């Protein structure tokens, strides 16, 4: 398997078997976490259509497409870590996913967010998860002995946690 076929979401699965099946419409993300991961992969791959399609209708503003395109152009997302989740299973209609996403452009940094998702039935009668909104959280600090958030593999205290 070639490295560039690995899914950007960090699942270690092939892109086609992971978020790719949701991007292509071959399958529908069954959980809030799967939708979250597939939206991250869409950011990483520059798939604006998918990001718009999976954004809750109440949150689609005028100029959203342009904003998403700009954000994709300016930021290169490299890594996703799911930190916590609540509900969001195939049986639920609401879900919360806390995650940290790392980017290396314009400069190395992380985004730590708690996102809310809602499942609704679309015009074809198909139940789908949508991203509603998220709360920005302070930068995620790995616990003692855990590797740094940046993905270096070095313990946090010896990397970005060094004072
Ligand atoms: Zn994936
Ligand atoms: Zn680091």
Domains of the chain: 3-158 (3.10.450.50)
- Ligand 1: centre distance to CA 64 (Å): 24
In this structure, which ligand is nearest to the CA of 17? 1
Residues 6+ apart with CB under 8 A from 149: 81, 100, 102, 110, 139, 140, 141, 142, 156, 160
Structure-block tokens of residue 33? 């976490």
pTM recorded for the entire structure: 0.94
- Calpha distance 93→151 (Å, rounded): 33
Position 145 scores a pLDDT of 87
Write down the residue that tokens 């950011």 correspond to.
43
- Ligand 1: centre distance to CA 40 (Å): 8
Whether pLDDT at 163 is above 90: no
**In this structure, which residues have their CB less than 5 angstroms from ion ligand 1?**
7, 9, 11, 18-19, 37
- Calpha distance 10→103 (Å, rounded): 13
pLDDT band at 1 (very low <50, low <70, confident <90, very high): very low
- Ligand 1: centre distance to CA 162 (Å): 32
Whether pLDDT at 74 is above 90: yes
Neighbouring CB atoms inside 10 A of 35's CB total: 25
- Calpha distance 57→50 (Å, rounded): 13
Position 2 scores a pLDDT of 53
- Ligand 2: centre distance to CA 154 (Å): 7
- Calpha distance 119→20 (Å, rounded): 20
Q: Going by DSSP bridges, is the β-strand pair 94-105/109-121 parallel, antiparallel, or unpaired?
A: antiparallel
Position 47 scores a pLDDT of 97
- Calpha distance 24→13 (Å, rounded): 16
- Ligand 1: centre distance to CA 139 (Å): 23
* Residue spans of alpha helices (H) in the chain: 19-23, 32-45, 48-53, 64-74
- Ligand 1: centre distance to CA 129 (Å): 16
């Amino acid at each position: 398997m070639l490295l560039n076929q690995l899914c950007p979401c960090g699942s270690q699965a092939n892109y086609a078997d992971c978020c790719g099946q949701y991007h292509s419409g071959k399958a529908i993300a069954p959980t809030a976490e799967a939708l979250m991961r597939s939206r991250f992969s869409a950011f990483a791959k520059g798939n604006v259509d998918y990001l718009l399609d999976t954004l809750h209708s109440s949150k689609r503003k005028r100029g959203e497409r342009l904003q998403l395109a700009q954000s994709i152009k300016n930021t290169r997302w490299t890594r996703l870590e799911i930190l916590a989740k609540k509900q969001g299973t195939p049986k639920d209609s609401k879900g919360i996913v806390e995650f940290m996403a790392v980017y290396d452009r314009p400069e190395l940094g992380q985004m730590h967010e708690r996102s809310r998702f809602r499942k609704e039935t679309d015009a074809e009668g198909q139940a789908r998860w949508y991203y509603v909104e998220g709360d920005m959280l302070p930068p995620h600090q790995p616990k003692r002995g855990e590797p740094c958030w940046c993905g270096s593999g070095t313990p946090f205290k010896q990397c970005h946690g060094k004072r």
